[in-house]
Amino acid sequence: MINAVGKDKNGQEILDDINDSNIDTSLIQVIANQLTSLVKVHLDENGSASYSVEMPCA
């Protein structure tokens, strides 16, 4: 579920992709002066994932 994106290139690409799938984006907020969140995923040697979110973000 997406409730907000930043007002940046990544946010616009996400909204475009969702719209291209004919999904309503009218309730997704676009936050000015914020970047769309970026989550980095690291897999350890056993394939277990850990996540970090780059801040600040929408």
User: What pLDDT shows up at residue 57?
Assistant: 82
pLDDT digits (tens, 9 = 90+) for 2-21: 899 999 999 999 999 999 99
b/e code 19-30 from CB counts within 10 Å (16+ = b) = eeeeeeeeebeb
Contact 11, 30 (CB under 8 A): yes
Share of the chain above pLDDT 90, in %: 86
| Average pLDDT of span 42-46 | 96
Contact 36, 5 (CB under 8 A): yes
**Tokens representing residue 7 in the block:** 């007002």
User: What pLDDT shows up at residue 54?
Assistant: 84
pTM of the predicted protein model? 0.75
CA–CA distance, 41 with 50 (Å, rounded to integer): 6
